[in-house]
């Protein structure tokens, strides 16, 4: 596929999606969300894609926020539509049954921070900087930043960073659980790729189940414990379960069919 705001490349089932707007520090515009929605639809439906790495072009920015010039003259209804559309795309990332790993290089601010938080895992370079500076513009985060930041770093810390608009440097982000690992810039993609390959070598059915169960913890009106019981039980009726347990007893590596 050819896109205006992103580049895609697939190798051994690992799809790398690169936000390609370096002249605007990879700021996220409506075109990006439209194209990202198309990519995620393919990720869900294409059996050849086993995992996704999401990153930004260049070393300065993963995504330095939303494209302010695009929406600065929007009215109330346009603002709500903008937010709802962003929520839908980021939800599709968070709920994706295949692992989505953010390789964060440089600024991940505003919408960029929200995009990274929707991914299942975050690997950062030492120059990565996270933050939700929206209050500086007279607006709140619009792509679930107020929700996911709490989930990752806790209410007290989230309140502080959301209200002060202070940046979070890579080491601090690691300490508070906002990122999983920090690696040098030249190792960022290879590290994300290795992690994606490792996860992709496991049972696709079980990985999808883990995503479903973990997300259930935060879902309104859903009992996460009951969800785990349901997902666990359903695994017993899958080919992956039969292959995994058989391979274990035969002392060999499993070859999961993903069914």
Q: How far is CA 179 from CA 63, 126, 153, 168, in A?
A: 16, 11, 10, 11
Please state, in angstroms and rounded to a whole number, the distance separating the CA atoms of residues 164 and 176: 17
Q: List the one residue out of 31, 129, 117 whose CA is nearest residue 71.
A: 31
Contact by Cβ (8 Å): 176, 158: no
Sign (positive/negative) of CA torsion 39, 43, 45, 47? positive
Contact by Cβ (8 Å): 70, 30: yes
Catalytic residues: 114, 134
The tokens for 161 are: 């960073």
Please state, in angstroms and rounded to a whole number, the distance separating the CA atoms of residues 245 and 212: 22
Q: List the one residue out of 6, 29, 140, 4 whose CA is nearest residue 85.
A: 29
């Amino acid at each position: 596929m050819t896109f205006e705001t992103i580049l895609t490349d697939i190798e051994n089932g690992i799809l790398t999606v690169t936000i390609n707007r370096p002249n605007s520090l990879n700021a996220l515009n409506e075109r990006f969300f439209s194209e990202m929605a198309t990519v995620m639809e393919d990720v869900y439906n294409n059996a050849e894609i086993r995992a996704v790495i999401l990153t930004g072009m260049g070393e300065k920015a993963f995504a330095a926020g939303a494209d302010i010039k695009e929406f600065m003259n929007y009215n109330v209804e346009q603002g709500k539509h903008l937010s709802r559309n962003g929520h839908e795309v980021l939800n599709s990332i968070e709920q994706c049954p295949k692992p989505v790993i953010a390789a964060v290089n440089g600024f991940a601010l505003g919408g960029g921070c929200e995009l990274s938080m929707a991914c299942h895992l975050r690997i950062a370079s030492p120059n990565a900087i996270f933050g939700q500076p929206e209050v500086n513009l007279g607006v709140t985060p619009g792509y679930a930043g107020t929700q996911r930041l709490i989930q990752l770093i806790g209410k007290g810390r989230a309140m502080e960073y959301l209200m002060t608009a202070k940046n979070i440097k890579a080491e601090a982000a690691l300490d508070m659980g906002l990122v999983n690992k920090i690696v040098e810039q030249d190792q960022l993609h290879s590290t994300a790729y290795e992690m994606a390959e490792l996860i992709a070598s496991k049972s696709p059915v079980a990985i999808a189940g883990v995503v479903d169960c973990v997300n259930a913890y935060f879902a309104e009106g859903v009992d996460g414990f009951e969800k785990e019981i349901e997902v666990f039980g359903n695994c017993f009726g899958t080919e992956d379960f039969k292959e995994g347990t058989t391979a274990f007893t035969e002392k060999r590596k499993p070859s999961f069919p993903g069914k």
